[in-house]
Structure 1
Amino acid sequence: MSLIISYISSKGCVMIGDKRRIGFLGDEKKREILEEKLYSGKVKTQNELLKEAGALGISLKITDDAQKVRKIDDVLVGEVKYRTPAKTMRKRIYGTSHAYNLVKLTGSSIDSVEQGGSSIVVFGNQITKKLANEIISAQWKSKTTLQEVGELFQKVMEKVAQTTPSVSEEYDLLLVHPALDQKESLALLRSTIVQDVKELAQWRAELKDKMVTAAREMEITSRIMTEGVVGTVTCIDNHELEVKLGKGVLALDAKWNVLAQKDEKVKMMVEDPSQVTQGDLVVIRDENLCISRSGTNISCDIILCNE
């Protein structure tokens, strides 16, 4: 869905990227048919895209909030990515004065790195690349400034957005112009890529941990007790009760760690201990923790779940 255009010269680097993101939901073969129509330029407006999607039974989620270009100190970075259920593939350009690197990644692993010098590099689909290159070729001037390049790229983005719904009218435009020679530029790109990919790997690991934790919390939450026998009162000490957990009951702390299970004891509190006797059943009735015999409410700072 992307259009990212980069200009690299001895003066610096200019990079522009659109902000459109389109999610396709539905039959894989029908998605491919719709994508081919979109990327080849057969679909020219968002209304046409929605109509074609409806005819094929494909649901679309269209947003214009993606950040496809960013700045890391004196380096600009543009990225396009493609997700499948099994993996995420990325293609990045890192640009600064004199030089750029093209990096292909699967997940956070580098598949390949290509190096280049002064150039114009376009990331996009079939139609966006064709249109962008035609407009740039027709309007390019020799001895142009970085600011003028930026203005031309803005015109390109606006014209392409009017021709295909795969590109948004919104975009990000960035510029850097560090005073570096080619050797310094290559060294800067190399160190930036190493650090950036390392941060990507760390982010992916943290995201995986969060997803695993969230899945575990959802699974445990579904087992929180709302009804049934919790256990038996084995000791009463003023307002504090000692309760032996019954079969199939777990006591967890706030971080979902198991504190006690069947036949193990936990502490609970009761406001009126005169309403409790040793051997009473502790139950959850209508989502309230109480003594079964008297209905006296009790409280605890643990989470009670079914195994």
Structure 2
Amino acid sequence: MSLIIAYIGKKGCVMAADKRRIGYFGDKENLKLLEEELYSGSIGNDDEFLSKASELGISIKITDDASKLKVVGNSIRGEVSTKGTFETKRRRIYGTTNGYQIIELLGSEVKSRKAGESGVIIFGNNYAKQLAETLISRKWKASFSLRYMGDVFESILKEVSSKTPTVGDNCDVLMQQPKFTASDAQKHLNITIDNDIKVLTKFRQELTEQLVQQSIEIDLANKILDEGKIGRVVSVDGNMLQIQLNDKTQALKADGSWKQLAGPGQNVLMITEKDDVEIGDEVVIEDENLCLKKDKSSLKCDIILCSL
């Protein structure tokens, strides 16, 4: 759901990209039918697209605020991506003066990489690309300044967007004009791209760690006790009680770290306002209230009580 147009040559690099993303939810077979019509060009605008999706029982979310271009070093990076069940496929073009490279990634693993010195390169679905190529042949000239090329590319994006909902009418245009020979350009791109992929790899690792941590937190949150036996009093010192946890209960820190403070059979501190607590008294949670079983008197603690 993207259209990126890039010029790379002796003058520098200019890229233009729309900002549309489309999310789908629904039956796979109906989704396939919708995409076939969409990419064939038989659906001409957003209203027709939403109507056809509704007819097929497909939920659609359209946004026009996605940034597909980015300045990286002395180059511009354009990216189109497709999210699969387990991995995201990315196709990137990095362009600078006198050089470009096209990279295909699965996750953060490079699957293909090719380089060139100059040209007009288009990323997009076949229908949008055909429209863009026809318009470029009519409007573009090599004699144009880089800035004017950007204006032409922007006008082409807007015209294509009026004929297919796969492309939005909001767009970004970026330019870079460093002084590079063809050899310098490829050296710069090699370093820039390798570092950029390292950043992507680190981001994916951090995201994976966050997802694992979130999964752990959700699992633990589901184990928070709101009813049942907790343990028994093993020590009384004024209003401070040492409670030995039973064999099905653990205590976690209440600081957001979810780290275990005490396991089954270990002691935790609780506070009481009663003066008749005795060793051996049972501690329970009843109606989400932490208390002594014998008289339902409340207890206070700064821990999270969970089942194993």
What's the TM-score, normalizing by structure 2? Answer: 0.96
Give the alignment of 1:142-161 within 5 angstroms: 142-161=142-161
SS at match of 1:70: strand
Q: 1:96 to 1:232 in 2, by over 3 A?
A: same
Q: CA deviation at 1:152?
A: 0.2
The answer to whether the Cα contact below 8 Å between 1:26 and 1:59 also exists between their aligned partners in 2 is: yes
SS at match of 2:295: coil
1:259 alignment partner in structure 2: 261
Distance in structure 2 (CA, Å) of the matches to 1:232 and 1:25 = 52
SS at match of 2:275: helix
Q: CA deviation at 1:239?
A: 2.5
Distance in structure 1 (CA, Å) of the matches to 2:69 and 2:166 = 17
1:14 aligns with 2:14: yes
SS at match of 1:290: strand
Give the alignment of 1:212-291 within 5 angstroms: 212-253=212-253, 254=255, 255-270=257-272, 272-291=273-292
Distance in structure 2 (CA, Å) of the matches to 1:251 and 1:69 = 48
Distance in structure 2 (CA, Å) of the matches to 1:26 and 1:275 = 63
Distance in structure 1 (CA, Å) of the matches to 2:57 and 2:115 = 43
* Number of matched pairs: 306
**Percent of aligned pairs with the same amino acid:** 40
1:292 alignment partner in structure 2: 293
Distance in structure 2 (CA, Å) of the matches to 1:303 and 1:65 = 41
Q: CA deviation at 1:276?
A: 2.0
RMSD over aligned CA atoms reads: 1.3
2:105 alignment partner in structure 1: 105
Q: CA deviation at 1:273?
A: 4.3
Over residues 44-74 of structure 1, what are the superposed CA-to-partner deviations in whole Å (9 max), with x where a residue is unaligned?
Answer: 1111111111121211121112111111131
The answer to whether the Cα contact below 8 Å between 2:98 and 2:117 also exists between their aligned partners in 1 is: yes
Give the alignment of 1:1-307 within 5 angstroms: 1-253=1-253, 254=255, 255-270=257-272, 272-307=273-308
Unaligned runs of 5+ residues in structure 1 are: none
SS at match of 1:23: strand
Over residues 165-210 of structure 1, what are the superposed CA-to-partner deviations in whole Å (9 max), with x where a residue is unaligned?
Answer: 1111111111111111111111110001100001111111111111
Distance in structure 1 (CA, Å) of the matches to 2:157 and 2:106 = 28
What's the TM-score, normalizing by structure 1? Answer: 0.96
Distance in structure 2 (CA, Å) of the matches to 1:106 and 1:42 = 31
Distance in structure 2 (CA, Å) of the matches to 1:104 and 1:54 = 34
SS at match of 1:231: strand
SS at match of 1:274: coil
Q: CA deviation at 1:275?
A: 4.0
The answer to whether the Cα contact below 8 Å between 1:230 and 1:246 also exists between their aligned partners in 2 is: yes
Distance in structure 2 (CA, Å) of the matches to 1:171 and 1:269 = 62
The answer to whether the Cα contact below 8 Å between 1:275 and 1:294 also exists between their aligned partners in 2 is: no
- Residue 57 of structure 1 aligns with an amino acid whose one-letter code is G
Q: CA deviation at 1:285?
A: 2.1
Q: CA deviation at 1:257?
A: 2.2
Unaligned runs of 5+ residues in structure 2 are: none
The answer to whether the Cα contact below 8 Å between 2:4 and 2:17 also exists between their aligned partners in 1 is: yes
Distance in structure 1 (CA, Å) of the matches to 2:267 and 2:279 = 14
The answer to whether the Cα contact below 8 Å between 2:274 and 2:297 also exists between their aligned partners in 1 is: no
- Residue 106 of structure 2 aligns with an amino acid whose one-letter code is T
Distance in structure 2 (CA, Å) of the matches to 1:241 and 1:10 = 79
